[in-house]
């Protein structure tokens, strides 16, 4: 059944796009492996169809590849279908369906599924708000090494949401998130270090966060760095402000 679904998708794709542009070898290899039935490659190819400089963006076809891999029981594919419903990629926005797919992905062992379902539970999007369950999911994903979930475990622990308030444990979770590469964790760990009086260590983590941080974190970094005045890092502050100016086209 899965093989026939791939065949139907290939026939439809070739009929719709007779002049497919030449692809770099590593990208074309992913496409070929997807067509041969490799579920990881099917999700990777779907990602490429969502956002690639080599092909026109095609969220409808991307979602079709995710659906094929999901039928084979591949957890990350369910997570990606959830994102399609969440953000309207190739289908209407449907937060209830997004939550369902994220939950399935998590049940199949995908940390991103746990994290994304936890976010919807935390915010009451598509499901009833349930902070206790959200924290439980973030903990499972964090224990599996998911850096963004570590940052949220830290936040819950710092604020005392559905758990005992423990600033020391929160700081350790922020550190683990930062070391795992999450820019929010890096910013929050830097903030905790600054509050401890370790300005130089805080600045090192803010430098690492600056390249990938989104506007909300850049704004928070701007406020913190500006408060340090000349004793901070004027070069880093200027970098943060350039990124904000570019994003908002000020």
Mean pLDDT of the chain: 94
Cα–Cα distance measured from residue 84 to residue 92, given in angstroms and rounded to the nearest whole number: 8
Report the topology of domain 150-249. Answer: 1.25.40
Q: Give pLDDT tens digits for 166-195.
A: 999 999 999 999 999 999 999 999 999 999
Cα–Cα distance measured from residue 121 to residue 133, given in angstroms and rounded to the nearest whole number: 7
Q: Read off the DSSP letter of residue 20.
A: P
pLDDT for 199:
97
Cα–Cα distance measured from residue 86 to residue 126, given in angstroms and rounded to the nearest whole number: 9
**Model confidence at 1: pLDDT above 70:** no
85, 95 Cβ separation under 8 angstroms = yes
Q: Which CATH superfamily hosts domain 23-110?
A: Tetratricopeptide repeat domain (1.25.40.10)
Radius of gyration over every alpha carbon of the chain, rounded to an integer in angstroms: 21
- Quote the tokens at residue 217: 């974190």
Banded pLDDT at 248 (limits 50, 70, 90): confident
Mean pLDDT of 204-219: 97
Residues of the chain with pLDDT > 70, as a percent, come to: 91
Q: Give pLDDT tens digits for 99-108.
A: 999 999 999 9
Q: Where are the domains of the chain?
A: 23-110, 150-249
- At 128, give phi and psi (nearest 5°): -70, 140
**Model confidence at 247: pLDDT above 60:** yes
Banded pLDDT at 11 (limits 50, 70, 90): low
Cα–Cα distance measured from residue 35 to residue 160, given in angstroms and rounded to the nearest whole number: 49
Cα–Cα distance measured from residue 92 to residue 85, given in angstroms and rounded to the nearest whole number: 6
194-220 CB burial, b ≥16 within 10 A, e <16: beeeeeeebbebbebbbeebeeebbeb
> What global pTM score does this model have?
0.91
Residues of the chain with pLDDT > 90, as a percent, come to: 89
Q: Give pLDDT tens digits for 128-169.
A: 999 999 999 999 999 999 999 999 999 999 999 999 999 999
107 CB neighbour count, 10 Å cutoff: 13
Residues contacting residue 240 through CB under 8 Å, at least 6 positions apart: 210, 218, 221, 222, 225
């Amino acid at each position: 059944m899965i093989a026939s679904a791939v065949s139907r998708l290939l026939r439809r794709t070739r009929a719709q796009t007779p002049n497919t542009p030449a692809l770099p070898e590593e990208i074309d290899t992913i496409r070929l492996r997807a067509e041969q039935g490799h579920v990881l490659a099917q999700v990777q190819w779907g990602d490429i169809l969502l956002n690639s400089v080599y092909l026109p963006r095609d969220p409808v076809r991307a979602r079709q590849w995710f659906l094929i891999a999901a039928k084979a029981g591949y957890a990350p594919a369910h997570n990606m279908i959830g994102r399609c419903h969440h953000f309207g990629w190739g289908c209407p926005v449907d937060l209830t369906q997004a939550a369902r797919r994220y939950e399935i992905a998590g049940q199949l062992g995908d940390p991103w599924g746990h994290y994304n379902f936890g976010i919807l539970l935390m915010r009451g999007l598509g499901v009833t708000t349930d902070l206790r369950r959200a924290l439980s999911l973030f903990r499972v994903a964090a224990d599996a090494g998911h850096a963004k979930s570590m940052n949220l475990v830290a936040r819950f622990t710092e604020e005392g949401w559905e758990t005992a308030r423990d600033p020391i444990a929160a700081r350790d979770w922020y550190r683990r998130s930062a070391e795992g590469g999450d820019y929010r964790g890096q910013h929050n760990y830097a903030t905790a270090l600054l509050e401890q009086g370790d300005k130089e260590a805080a600045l090192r983590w803010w430098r690492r966060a600056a390249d990938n941080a989104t506007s909300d974190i850049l704004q928070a970094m701007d406020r913190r760095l500006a408060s340090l005045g000349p004793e901070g890092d004027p070069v880093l502050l200027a970098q943060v402000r350039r990124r904000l100016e570019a994003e908002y086209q000020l």
